[in-house]
A and B are shown apart, each in its own frame.
Chain A
């Protein structure tokens, strides 16, 4: 899991801080934010592989809403939902919106790491597929390189 970037979104500051520390210790480049709004803000500037998102964050943007917006900003980032038991239905709703999986709080770190690895793998496979599709496209229509460069500049 080299070069692995994770974003943790949870309004429980103590939880957030500790989880970020623990993931850091396992060499995962982790950023922590305390609200859905902050998460969207940072996702506009930085690419993430996996987002760990608390479903229930009273007071601000709720998890499902945040998820919907995240998928617009970074459609390829995998999202893992964290939930108390009571919001399992919400989490299922979230999976329909493209979340990768959900975990019940309190989470066991081992489980989280396994899910993270799976999510990363899925994303990686996905990335590779896109890459190979691009290569195929370029082989077939080499002229598109120029077009792509133009797009990137814009």
Chain B
């Protein structure tokens, strides 16, 4: 853009220089005429042969005219050539910019202050189905679904009033009438002196692609991995909803059963029933029923708690400290099984806004899973690193590892390899849900026989 501006400026300056030169032409002609007249006067005053005089006059005239002609030819020619090259530079620059905008794989759209479309690139067309012509005809407004139109357009007006609107989720309406959620990142373009607004340029990234713009490069490299994560995210959301529904439906009958066994216990306290032969049996049976209701209740509550119903309460936290707390709880359990927990915690982690309780639960689950996986005699390595914009935590165990075919299932709710009663199969699912809610992600590297490493990425949040 800068190049374009400077070359156009140069062209402009050049043209005005040419005009200045042209202004001097009459002066030059006048000068030539004057010098001719002087030559004639001189010849007459000397009163020599007329033929010589005529010759001198003609020569002077010819010389002046030819000088003038050459002068003119030179200027007009070079003016034309210079202007041509300047125009070519300009067109090239313009074409280049247009191609960049058209071909870049980021959906871009721009419109001016009166909401006329300036451009709409191929990626945008592909994402929304709208072509430049179609949208120009229907108006920018029809890009937004009717019910959100007011909000969306108002937000855009706010941008026009110089409030930088950083990445807002906006719903847009495709040509096929499908609503697409997009990250809408709007910037306004002003004149060079900043006095007036020329255009609004927006980047609209389909949210479902889940790729933050800054990680675009990295993300395209890992498209395979990304797709897997997307499928996982979808599955988790669906399962979460279902779990919440089921949980709630089960909780109510559980409450009734629990109340009724309670009533039975109350009745057992009556004297005549205590005399019954089977009193002990009744009492023990009811205690067992209660025990299992409590068990079911714990599962349901855990499930509901993390099925997206409870909002985390973020707070300034030191991740190393949280990890140390989780280790503290499990230290004994590890020592009994002769498992060493070694830590390598980076001292320069910034404090970040996370729900401490949730995060402690996450690390607790990872470490206790690692201990369970190793069973006896082994090593767990926990490492934290600052990799802006994330804090990266890895938990590595040298247990038996996770077979490839099981790796896709480990985050599913109720998936467990532990014996019945030892694990609910909710731990990793809960971890996954919590970390996703914090905007982070979990990855797993494992090969059978070589242990497993879980890596948690948590974005640093300062406020």
The answer to whether A binds B is yes
**A residues bordering B, Cβ < 8 Å?**
12, 14-15, 18-19, 21-22, 25, 84-86, 88-89, 104-107, 109
Stretch of B33-41, B246-254, B374-382, B405-413 that contacts chain A:
B246-254
Chain B contacts for A18, CB-based, 8 A: 256, 259-260, 262-263
Contact B256 A85 (CB under 8 A): no
Chain A contacts for B311, CB-based, 8 A: 89
A22-B263, A85-B304, A86-B304 known; 8 new pairs, CB 8 Å cut-off, are A18-B256, A18-B263, A21-B263, A22-B266, A84-B251, A86-B248, A105-B252, A106-B259
* CB of B102 closer than 8 Å to a CB of A: no
Contact A86 B309 (CB under 8 A): yes
**Distance in angstroms between the alpha carbons of A84 and B305 in the assembled complex:** 10
Binary A-proximity of B286-297 (CB < 8 A = 1, otherwise 0): 000000010001
Contact B259 A19 (CB under 8 A): yes
Which residue of B is nearest A85, CB measured?
Answer: B304
A63 to chain B, nearest CB (A): 14
Contact B301 A104 (CB under 8 A): yes
Which residue of A is nearest B259, CB measured?
Answer: A18
Which residue of A is nearest B254, CB measured?
Answer: A106
**Distance in angstroms between the alpha carbons of A88 and B313 in the assembled complex:** 14
**Distance in angstroms between the alpha carbons of A107 and B248 in the assembled complex:** 15
Pairs across A and B, CB under 8 Å, 21 listed: A12-B256, A15-B252, A15-B255, A15-B259, A18-B256, A18-B260, A18-B262, A18-B263, A21-B263, A22-B266, A84-B251, A84-B255, A85-B247, A86-B248, A86-B304, A89-B311, A105-B252, A105-B255, A106-B257, A106-B258, A106-B293
Which residue of A is nearest B303, CB measured?
Answer: A85
Contact B252 A12 (CB under 8 A): yes
Cβ 8 A contact of A85, one of B258, B293, B300: B300
Chain A contacts for B254, CB-based, 8 A: 105-106
**Distance in angstroms between the alpha carbons of A15 and B255 in the assembled complex:** 7
Contact B251 A106 (CB under 8 A): yes
Q: Chain B: interface secondary structure?
A: helix
A76 to chain B, nearest CB (A): 28
* CB of B244 closer than 8 Å to a CB of A: yes
Which residue of A is nearest B304, CB measured?
Answer: A85
**Distance in angstroms between the alpha carbons of A109 and B307 in the assembled complex:** 27
- Given A12-B252, A106-B251, check contact A88 B310 (CB 8 Å): yes
Chain B contacts for A21, CB-based, 8 A: 263, 266
**Distance in angstroms between the alpha carbons of A21 and B265 in the assembled complex:** 12
Chain B contacts for A106, CB-based, 8 A: 251, 254-255, 257-259, 293, 297
**Distance in angstroms between the alpha carbons of A109 and B261 in the assembled complex:** 11
Contact B259 A85 (CB under 8 A): no
A121 to chain B, nearest CB (A): 24
**Distance in angstroms between the alpha carbons of A104 and B266 in the assembled complex:** 21
Chain A contacts for B251, CB-based, 8 A: 84-85, 105-106
Chain A contacts for B252, CB-based, 8 A: 12, 15, 84, 105
A122 to chain B, nearest CB (A): 25
**Distance in angstroms between the alpha carbons of A14 and B309 in the assembled complex:** 27
Which residue of A is nearest B310, CB measured?
Answer: A88
Contact A107 B255 (CB under 8 A): yes
Contact A86 B255 (CB under 8 A): no
Which residue of A is nearest B309, CB measured?
Answer: A86
**Distance in angstroms between the alpha carbons of A22 and B268 in the assembled complex:** 12
Which residue of B is nearest A15, CB measured?
Answer: B256
Which residue of A is nearest B262, CB measured?
Answer: A109
Residue in B247, B259, B297, B300 whose Cβ sees the most chain A Cβ within 10 Å: B259
Q: Top 8 closest A-B pairs, CB basis?
A: A106-B258, A85-B304, A106-B255, A105-B255, A18-B259, A15-B256, A84-B251, A14-B256
**Distance in angstroms between the alpha carbons of A21 and B259 in the assembled complex:** 10
Chain A contacts for B266, CB-based, 8 A: 21-22, 25
Residue in A15, A21, A84 whose Cβ sees the most chain B Cβ within 10 Å: A84
**Distance in angstroms between the alpha carbons of A86 and B257 in the assembled complex:** 19
Which residue of B is nearest A24, CB measured?
Answer: B266
Contact A84 B304 (CB under 8 A): yes
Residue in B248, B255, B266, B297 whose Cβ sees the most chain A Cβ within 10 Å: B255
Which residue of B is nearest A84, CB measured?
Answer: B251
Chain B contacts for A22, CB-based, 8 A: 259, 262-263, 266
Binary A-proximity of B229-248 (CB < 8 A = 1, otherwise 0): 00000000000000010011
B437 to chain A, nearest CB (A): 15
- Given A18-B262, A22-B262, check contact A12 B301 (CB 8 Å): no
Residue in A12, A14, A21, A86 whose Cβ sees the most chain B Cβ within 10 Å: A86
**Distance in angstroms between the alpha carbons of A18 and B263 in the assembled complex:** 7
- Given A89-B311, A105-B255, check contact A14 B260 (CB 8 Å): yes
**Distance in angstroms between the alpha carbons of A92 and B262 in the assembled complex:** 28
Contact B260 A86 (CB under 8 A): no
**Distance in angstroms between the alpha carbons of A88 and B304 in the assembled complex:** 10
Chain B contacts for A12, CB-based, 8 A: 252, 255-256
A92 to chain B, nearest CB (A): 11
Residue in B266, B293, B307, B310 whose Cβ sees the most chain A Cβ within 10 Å: B266
**Distance in angstroms between the alpha carbons of A25 and B244 in the assembled complex:** 35
Residues facing A in B261-296 (CB within 8 A) are 262-263, 266, 293
